[in-house]
Amino acid sequence: MKVLRLHASGDLRQHDEPVPELAEGEARLRVTVVGVCGSDLHWFGESGIGDARLEQPLVLGHEFAAVREEDGLRVAVDPAIPCGECEFCNQGHPNLCPGVRFAGHGRIDGALREYMSWPAELLYPLPDTLSDADGAMLEPLGVALHAADLGHLRSGMRVGVFGCGPIGLLIIQLARLSGAVQIIATDPLAHRLDAAGAYGATHLIPADYGAEAPEVWETAARRGVDVAFEVAGENAAVETAVYAAKPGGQVVLVGIPADDHTGFSAATARRKGLTLRLCRRMKHTYPRALALVERGLVDVRSLVTHRYPLAQAQQAFESAERRDGIKVILEI
């Protein structure tokens, strides 16, 4: 089977490898679609993410849909395999499991290959109304749902979304669904700001390395937003989110910084008494994500702007790095 492995920064190579064996409780999958995520771009551009470094050639890809070989069932796939036994799993927080195995991370190969084996309990059947690409988009929607849960979105809120990539745009849709009366979106790219407006943002402000923060504050009626979502992975966006949050408000950090460090004005955050929450992937969100998309309440399909075959993976990753559109996917 064809397999794509990352050997070093920017060095993707196609291999021919045997189809993986099945372990107990696993199903064999024929992968159909894989999304290129921002975390994949960290691996591609920096040979790692956070404190996890590339130790061996790695198969990337954790946003994916597939066909279960035994019966031809089309499925979306949860990429996280928690241990199910630790304190955090038992408390209902599998996303915080210290022993979690995650597709396309560390030593766990992901989905950029023709076939893979994966726990059957982590497969979610796709209805005929949803495409395989829709199924792959349930993973980023799950992250957006978890971020929205952390922010305790409620009707009547003012919301800030700082960074309008795929997850930021999904958070905007969820904020709209929650009944937010104001959704302020920032991004340096005009086409992503335009998308934010199409998905429900009420105010669009170009990001300029934090220089936009006073305008955001003014736009939020000089009282700040109730919850600020930082979804850019850039420290300027973190600082803007802290600046824009109201006294007693919440800041949810979703983005992953390239240098593994986040900073902001401690005095500003302290004087406002802000609550900071950090979003670690997702938990228990696939059924909800599936229901939202199936009922047409959240649009994931139009987020997919670029499609490439596996043979053009290098071009796909380079396009995603340039932020040419919104979401880049690979069709296997």
73-91 pLDDT, tens per residue? 999 999 999 999 999 999 9
The rounded percent of the chain whose pLDDT value lies above 90 is 99
Confidence band, pLDDT 50/70/90 cuts, at residue 53: very high
Closest CA to 172 of 201, 204, 143: 201
Domains and CATH numbers, the chain: 2-137+300-331 (3.90.180.10), 144-278 (3.40.50.720)
**Distance between CA atoms of 320 and 314, rounded to whole angstroms?**
10
Closest CA to 152 of 252, 248, 278, 281: 252
Give the tokens for residue 109: 């190969």
Residue-wise pLDDT for 159-191, tens only, equals: 999 999 999 999 999 999 999 999 999 999 999
What's the length of the chain?
A: 332
What is the average pLDDT score of the chain?
Answer: 97
Which pLDDT score, from 0 to 100, does residue 234 have? 96
